[in-house]
Amino acid sequence: MSVKKTVKSRAARKVGAMSKLKKATAQRLTRKKVARARKRLPQRSRKSAGGEKRRVAPPPTAEAPKDFEELLVRDLVSSATGQKMGSGITAQDLILSLTASTRKLGYNLGFTVGRQIYGHGGANIGMFFDVLEKLGMGKVLYYPSEEHVIITSMLDTKQIAELNVGAHVFESGLIAGYFSGYLNRMVKARETLCIFKNSNVCQFVADTVHHHHAAEQNPRLDAVIGAIASGIDRTESSAGDRENRDYLLLPSLPLTKSPLLDEACKVLYLAGERLAVVGRSDYREEIGKMARYFDLEGANIHEAGGKRVIRLKYKDYNSLEGIVRLSSSMVMGYLAKFSGSRPVAVASVGKKGAYLVSIKA
């Protein structure tokens, strides 16, 4: 057999193996969902500072399998081209920056993913920068030296609020994890400049000695909520090219795991409420923006008898417990404020195994 045919044969086997893994993953998720799919989703309430009860989105039943994160990393590393995530909306980063504990958890999860990226892509710096750009870090510049590595991210700052805090803790961990594998020794990374701290770039320094620096001050919750709402409101109206976008799920994974998931849902619920106040578009368009941000299949809206029914339809790859809870939390918060009623959500599973969530308000 010629060398050319051998290479093609190996490539075909690799593609086939990836397809089987994706198919097996989808089948496992579907089996878990169907068990309780048509039961009414439980509602969770909490009291605000003024004593008013707030409704927080309910949890569906299925969780991502253990190999799902690795599958996303493989796709991200192996895809030569792909649409880059818009850098203007950073709800994940903002939520992870809220407290010292969330920053530590976000950094550690990013570190794990960074090591996986090195494991699949090897010592290919260009590949790693391409990964960072696909994850929404804009144009990346690289400055190596004997003492440390400096990575500068040229983000689009049009939609970024000034919070006086460095918010990219997941990305810092990602950089540390990759270069720990690349240099074969423990590397730590810190964000020295950030667009959330009145800078026009984000800059990360990675070195083997973690230099002392002042602890980050926790941002105000109200400012974070406002920034998320403003970012969603400025989402492009056009859905754009939706092919090969499963890697966009990777930055959201830290929020889909305990103990962050419940708190992240509360923050997004409150951001949905804020969006109902500050939104510049018709409510149908605002719900559409939320659906586009979470890359949903669709958000169909029906009105009858003074009631509104919003049906959220998820894609195969993002039909996961955490993503469903996060996205439905924001929609329910928006509807609660907009309609002045308590939204009720019911989940089901479609013919292809993807979640359908019906919200009545």
Mean pLDDT for the stretch of residues 161-171: 83
When mean pLDDT is compared across 10-24, 37-51, 223-237, 336-350, the lowest value belongs to 37-51
What's the whole-number average pLDDT of the chain?
77
- Residues 6+ away with beta carbon under 8 Å from 158: 88, 234
Domains of the chain: which residue ranges?
A: 1-65+258-361, 67-255
User: What does the DSSP assignment read for 59-110?
Assistant: P-S----TTHHHHHHHHHHH-S--PPPPSS--HHHHHHTSSHHHHHHHHHHH
At residue 235, the 3 state secondary structure works out as coil
Task: Tell me what pLDDT residue 74 has.
Answer: 82
Can you give 278-297 as a three-state secondary structure string?
A: HCCCCHHHHHHHHHHHCCCC
Task: Tell me what pLDDT residue 22 has.
Answer: 56
pLDDT digits (tens, 9 = 90+) for 92-126: 888 988 988 888 888 998 999 999 999 988 888 88
Q: End-to-end CA distance of the chain, in Å?
A: 65
Query: Given this chain, do its domains 1-65+258-361 and 67-255 carry the same CATH topology?
Result: yes
The CATH homologous superfamily for domain 67-255 is Trafficking protein particle complex subunit 3 (3.30.1380.20)
Phi/psi for 246 (5° steps) reads: -65, -20
**pLDDT at 313 > cutoff 60:** yes
Consecutive H or E run containing 193: strand 188-193
Comparing 163 with 55, the larger pLDDT belongs to 163
Residue 158 exposure: Cα atoms within 13 Å on the Cβ side:
10
Q: What is the pTM of this model?
A: 0.77
Strands 53-56 and 44-47: antiparallel
Contact indicator for 333, 273 with CB cutoff of 8 Å: yes
pLDDT digits (tens, 9 = 90+) for 37-55: 433 343 333 333 333 343 4
Which fold is adopted by the domain 1-65+258-361?
Muramoyl-pentapeptide Carboxypeptidase; domain 2 (3.30.1380)
Closest among 318, 236, 270, 283 to 91, alpha carbons compared = 270
Q: Is 326 exposed, middle or buried (0-12, 13-18, 19+ CB in 10 A)?
A: buried
pLDDT digits (tens, 9 = 90+) for 205-240: 999 876 655 667 888 899 899 888 888 887 765 544
